Copies of this chain bind each other. A is one copy, B any other.
Amino acid sequence: MNIGEVAAKSGLPAKTIRYYEDIGLIQPERHDNGYRVFRQTQLHKLMFVARARSLGFSIDDCRILLALYEDDSRASAQVKALAQDHLTQIDAKIAGLRAMRDTLADLVDACHGDSRPDCPILKDLAAAHDG
């Protein structure tokens, strides 16, 4: 398979696949003409990474997950610990965003949104905030 076909099958842009090769996530072979050759296992890896990325895992996490996936003697506890850690980080991010969201929603609600300059949103931004 050439990169275009793998891109179509994995849903990843060709650019991203080349980038993944650059950083050593995958190692496709080469045709005599310089074109990358992808075998089924490479495509499989790419799809694995694509899925992991869609769950928010970092590239470095993906590296580890791939290694664990290919290690028959892994302990599922290793995988779970990584995933649990990631889950905790996502939860923290959600909590942060929710706090933002709530404050912002209050401000938006309080703002008349008319032609007058008076605006609670700007007032909040201009007021001193501790922490």
A77 within 8 A of B: yes
Q: Complex Cα distance A16/B101, Å?
A: 24
Contacts of A100-131 to chain B: CB distance below 8 A: 100-101, 103-105, 107-108, 111-119, 121-122, 124-129
Residues of B within 8 A of A65 (CB): 122, 125
A32 within 8 A of B: no
Given contacts A76-B111, A80-B121, 19 further A-B contacts (CB under 8 A): A47-B128, A47-B129, A68-B122, A69-B122, A71-B117, A74-B117, A74-B119, A75-B115, A76-B115, A76-B116, A79-B113, A80-B108, A80-B111, A80-B113, A90-B101, A91-B101, A93-B97, A94-B94, A94-B101
